[in-house]
């Protein structure tokens, strides 16, 4: 009612106004979340589909919001990207993940997601090297997961950065493979060591002939390019067996485990060792 005199405001949809306020509040909360120590990193096992041995984990950030409980990254990463807060959050996740992974068996790798804005940060290499040296984690045990959004940026600079990271021994995975527009060209131009098949190609496997054909083509392509394959979103034993038969290197998904808080992830590892 107070807005009535202001003309235009009256024509605003109350739903849009509510969303704008919520977004503003999210920005305020997010800006404070890091100093309030509200972020957590959960770990989802990446498993060899033949032996079921845990070979790696993907670090996935969660926000323990004092009022809203555990907030998923899908609900705050975009805001964090748009406000630039992702750089601070991303460095924190990287340090945390490297530190946690440094105590795992030495054959295990840790995969960390990098967003486009983090990639544009000129301090990125320093941040990564800092996280590695502070934790003592060898660079060969770190894999950075990158989506096409990163590659759309300044191509020459992106290539230099990626080649530098590869030269240090850090793995590079092309994340969400197949969901973008130019994935094939990028595979040729950039030094990826791994492809992650997006779960949209996995959901209807093994029944859907089209998905199966695309899946098999991606696996063949990765083989020809000497890249390893991780399959996302494995939710059934049939999907696990399909991935194993196709010769995929790693699988990840709810059938094996959801992303777990660190202590539960350690229990998962111990149970696997005992089994
Ligand atoms: P992503 O990189 O594609 O990560 C995989 C997502 O799939 C995760 O969602 C994971 O929990 C979910 N997932 C794993 N297995 C299954 C399954 O069997 N079925 C289904 N339906 N889902 C499965 P999450 O944790 O909500 O993360 C969503 C996205 O947020 C990630 O997608 C990634 O793009 C982004 N993200 C998460 N953590 C970070 C981070 O630390 N930094 C950045 N920049 N982005 C992050
Ligand atoms: Ca990922
Ligand atoms: Ca994905
Ligand atoms: Ca993604």
pLDDT at 1: 47
Q: What pTM was estimated for this model as a whole?
A: 0.93
Going by alpha carbons, the residue nearest to atom 12 of ligand 1 is: 233
List ligand 1's pocket residues with C-beta within 6 A.
44, 59-61, 72-74, 77, 90, 93, 113-115, 145, 175-176, 199, 232-235, 252-254, 259
**Is the torsion defined by CA of 143, 152, 176, 88 positive or negative?**
positive
Tell me how crowded residue 186 is: count the other CB atoms within 10 A of its CB.
20
Going by alpha carbons, the residue nearest to atom 35 of ligand 1 is: 73
- Tell me which residues of the chain have a pLDDT lower than 50: 1
Q: Which ligand is nearest to the CA of 252?
A: 1
pLDDT at 187: 86
Cα(200) to ligand 2 centroid in Å equals: 13
Q: How far is CA 178 from CA 28, 62, 214, 221, in A?
A: 35, 26, 9, 12
Cα(13) to ligand 3 centroid in Å equals: 34
Cα(258) to ligand 2 centroid in Å equals: 14
Runs of H (alpha helix) within the chain: 8-11, 14-33, 77-83, 86-101, 116-120, 124-135, 148-151, 155-167, 183-189, 209-224, 237-245, 262-274
Q: Tokens standing for 217?
A: 């083509």
Going by alpha carbons, the residue nearest to atom 44 of ligand 1 is: 115
Q: Using the atom order of ligand 1, give the atom closest to the CA of residue 81.
A: 44
- ipTM greater than cut 0.90: yes
What are the tens digits of pLDDT across the range 243-258? 999 999 999 999 999 9
Cα(70) to ligand 3 centroid in Å equals: 20
> Which helix (H) or strand (E) element contains residue 1?
none
Where do we find the tokens 């660190």?
Answer: 262
> Residues near 112 by Cβ (< 8 Å), separated by ≥ 6?
58, 59, 93, 94, 97, 142, 143, 144, 145
């Amino acid at each position: 009612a107070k807005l009535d005199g202001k003309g235009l405001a009256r024509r605003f949809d109350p739903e849009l106004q509510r969303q704008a306020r919520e977004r503003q509040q999210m920005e305020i909360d997010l800006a404070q979340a890091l100093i309030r120590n509200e972020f957590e990193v959960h770990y989802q096992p990446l498993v060899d589909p033949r032996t079921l041995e845990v070979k790696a984990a993907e670090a996935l950030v969660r926000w323990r919001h004092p009022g809203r409980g555990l907030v998923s990254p899908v609900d705050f990463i975009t805001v964090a990207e748009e406000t630039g807060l992702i750089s601070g959050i991303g460095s924190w996740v990287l340090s945390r993940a490297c530190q946690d992974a440094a105590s795992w068996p030495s054959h295990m790798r840790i995969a960390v997601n990098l967003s486009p804005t983090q990639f544009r940060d000129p301090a990125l290499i320093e941040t990564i090297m800092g996280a590695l040296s502070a934790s003592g984690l060898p660079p060969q045990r770190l894999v950075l997961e990158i989506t096409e959004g990163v590659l759309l940026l300044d191509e020459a600079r992106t290539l230099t950065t990626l080649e530098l990271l590869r030269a240090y021994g850090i793995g590079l995975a092309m994340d969400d493979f197949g969901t973008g527009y130019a994935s094939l060209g990028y595979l040729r131009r950039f030094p990826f060591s791994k492809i992650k098949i997006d779960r949209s190609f996995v959901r209807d496997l093994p029944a859907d002939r089209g998905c199966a054909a695309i899946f098999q083509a991606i696996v063949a392509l990765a083989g020809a390019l000497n890249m390893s394959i991780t399959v996302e979103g494995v939710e059934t034993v049939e999907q696990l067996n399909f991935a194993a038969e196709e010769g995929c290197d790693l699988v990840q998904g709810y059938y094996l485990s959801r992303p777990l808080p660190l202590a539960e992830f350690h229990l998962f590892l111990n149970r696997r060792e005992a089994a």
